[in-house]
Amino acid sequence: MRLQIGREPEFSPIAARLCDYVSRRHAVIFWQEDGLYVRHLGSSNPTYVNERPLAIGETTKLADGDRLGFSRHEMARITMRDRT
């Protein structure tokens, strides 16, 4: 699973739903064997995990209940479901 986040329609399937504070190619959320991750691709507005900004290229593992933001204006809460 991989979800690209950004305002560029060719890059992100949710581009039309994002505000101007999100970059054209902002971040990617992806699944690996041991869990869900987010990588900040680089922009003037950081990607935030629990209000901590990620550095350009930084990848971090997400946990149930984490707050994920693509600017101070676009926030979501991570909810993990049992995949069994």
3-class SS at 54? coil
On whether residue 12 sits in a domain, the answer given is: yes
CATH number at residue 27: 2.60.200.20
On whether residue 67 sits in a domain, the answer given is: yes
On whether residue 82 sits in a domain, the answer given is: no
On whether residue 84 sits in a domain, the answer given is: no
- List, for residues 14-66, the tens digit of each pLDDT value: 888 887 788 888 999 999 999 999 999 987 788 999 999 999 999 999 999 99
Non-local (6+) Cβ contacts of 36 within 8 A are 29, 30, 61, 62, 78, 80
Domains identified in the chain, total number: 1
Parent domain of 61: 2-77
- pTM, 2 dp: 0.83
